Amino acid sequence: MSSYWLERAWTGEGPVRDGVLVDVVDGVFTRVVDGPPGDAERVAGLTIPGLANCHSHAFHRALRGRTQRERGTFWTWREQMYAVASTLTPDTYFELARATYREMAAVGITSVGEFHYLHHGPGGTPYDDPNAMSHALVEAAREAGIRIALLDTCYLTAGIGRPPEGVQLRFSDGDADSWAARLLRPPVTDAAGSAAGRGSSDGSTVRWGAAIHSVRAVPRDQMPTVAAWADQHRAPLHVHLSEQVAENEACLTAYGATPTEVLAQAGALGRRTTAVHATHLTAFDVALLGGSRTRACFCPTTERDLGDGIGPSRRLLEAGAPLTLGSDSHAVIDLFEEMRAVELDERLATRERGHWSAEELLGAATYDGHESLGFDGAGRIAVGARADLVTLDTATVRTAGTGADTGTAVFAASGADVVRVLRDGTDITPDAGDLGVELDRVIRRLLP
């Protein structure tokens, strides 16, 4: 058993509390009470539950500081992203993802949803282990110390009615049935019958889920297969939704319906589904998402970097669609920045303040996020919950004098203020200097 006395703590409900004593046994909180420290380890600062990064493309981390240098659009950015995707192998992807996930751990992220579509080798040729790239990601998360929901993504077309081309051949399984068959194949085994390669894990830190890339990358008649797989396996189902106006226009032309309506018709909305971005929605779209209790994952630092627009976060919540958060392209990996950006973007869009409380945004970044990835029991400091603890220094130049409360976490702090991270009771805090060296070395090998 390990015991900690938290100087200040937000447990997942109510206000910040002083002097919270917690016991951890086998990675789970067994006691959470207010009281004196006794023999417990004293933890100064403000402690919150672990954060959930619900939308990640790990290989995009290599693009930071490079794609922002010139004018362009989402579509010109995509070509630069494809250039990186064309170079990756299971080994180099493992190295890049491990460094990226360690960066996440450093800023308090204990679970990640990896929206993974880089499945095959050059030209679309499957690896001997057809899930080699998935296994590289799972092992990268394991070595970084964070949980991963591997959201295996069905990606079949370059656009509605257009076959995949160029690097997109690496993304495609041909059709949704083949996509599902690949997911169900066991890993390659060696002569002794042991699993070869990467990907071994215990079920408490890895969740296998599904994703429909978008209405432009998965034909309407293929979507029900993906949704059915998720239902059968009670797995998370994520989808890029209405990120671009051009996507909506193409969908209306092809199907006479919005992307949200197409997903509803395919049976792809519901409590296990998360719609990522959900930026350009009609009032009926909002009602469909809210009425089905589909979650909406906003990624504000990416959405502003790409010039996507500002989605209706508050209207979605009021309709019944809970909010979660992601770092997506990793232009920034900082869930504190994502939290406050939701509120600040709403202020810009409406010219009014006060749409989201700090507690609501912390809930989106913690328990709602973990639940959307299938990690029930994470995101709260409560008896029976997974023992994740993220501690912020409340005396930095950003946090000093801000009250050491939920407002400090959401509207003042940054990932740089995180000083300690526990996941399931295990300290996963990386050395910041070593992490920077690793990121530089790995990315320089890919993009000299």
Q: Which residues are catalytic?
A: 277, 328
DSSP state of 408: H
Token pair, residue 92, equals 């180099």
Alpha-carbon 18 to chain mean position: 31
The CA distance from 337 to 301, in Å, is 8
Cβ-Cβ contacts under 8 Å for 119 (sequence gap 6 or more) = 126, 130, 131, 133, 134, 152, 170, 171, 172, 173, 182
* Interacting residues of 123 by C-beta distance below 8 A, sequence separation 6+: 169, 170
User: CA 348 from chain center: how many Å?
Assistant: 25
- Helices 335-350, 358-365: axis angle to 10 degrees equals 130
Output the six-digit token pair for 163: 């076959």
**Residue 14: both structure tokens together:** 């109510």
75-88: burial string, b at 16+ Cβ within 10 Å, e else: eebeebbeebbeeb
SS3 of 93, please?
Answer: helix
CA distance 270 to 274: 8
Sheet holding 237-241, edge to edge: 51-56, 109-116, 147-154, 206-212, 237-241, 273-277, 295-298, 323-325
Q: Cα(90)–Cα(350) distance, rounded to whole angstroms?
A: 45
Whole-angstrom Cα distance, residue 182 to residue 189?
A: 16
Q: Which of 347, 433, 423 has the alpha carbon at shortest distance from 389? A: 423
CA distance 303 to 132: 30
Query: Which position has the token pair 């992490």?
Result: 435
Which amino acid, one-letter code, is at 92? T
- Give the C-alpha separation, 47 to 60, whole Å: 30
Tokens of 405: 């409360």
